[in-house]
Amino acid sequence: MWYRFAQIHPYIPKAVDRFGITKDPNKAGFVLSDGKMLDFSDGYDNRDLMHHSVFEVMPPMPDPVGEYPDPHKQFVIPFMKSTESIRISKDGSDLSIEIHSIPSNEQITAIARSVDKGDNFFYEIPLFGRNGGGAIYDTNPSYIRKWLTDIREVMIGYK
């Protein structure tokens, strides 16, 4: 019988210990590859921490040479790429995601469950360059699931 043993990146247990897990998309900062969402509420009713707070579970990063420090480039993107997580931010009826790796089925499910009918859905997929961002307004959650599944298939073809 064939078994698959997943390797867990060392940032993930540190992030779960530091931030915790939530099922509330209003509190979430990232969707991990298993579909669990990191709780960035810091004990409040909504997300309170900035996404670059992941620096707390990462080794120090040097400031870029010849540029101003950019916490998104220095911490958020490396965290997403190394853990295959997706940045998520829900603010009222707006849900935003940023994808740097192929979304898992669990992530697709978690994101689709985070969308309420009529929400505005914003996405950024840097792999696709200038055409990698956009918005879907007045959404239907089942449409978002299909859209993310299609994006997953396109990303598999890109890699």
pLDDT 10s digit of each residue in the chain, 159 long? Answer: 444 455 789 999 999 999 999 999 999 999 999 999 999 999 999 999 999 999 999 998 887 788 888 899 899 999 999 999 999 999 988 999 999 999 999 999 999 999 888 888 888 888 777 666 777 776 777 788 888 898 888 888 875
pTM over 0.75? The answer is: yes
CB-side neighbour CA atoms (13 Å) of 121? 19
* Gap between the Cα atoms of 156 and 37, Å rounded: 23
* Gap between the Cα atoms of 11 and 28, Å rounded: 17
In whole angstroms, how large is the CA radius of gyration of the chain?
16
Bridge partners, 30 (sequence order): 38, 87
Sign of the four-CA dihedral 121, 92, 80, 22: negative
Helices (H), the chain: 11-19, 71, 77-83, 105-114, 141-158
Among candidates 106, 101, 95, which has minimal Cα distance to 136?
Answer: 95
Instruction: Let me know: does 25 contact 75? Beta carbons within 8 Å.
Output: no
* Gap between the Cα atoms of 115 and 126, Å rounded: 22
Quote the crossing angle between the two packed helices 105-114 and 141-158, to the nearest 10°. Answer: 150
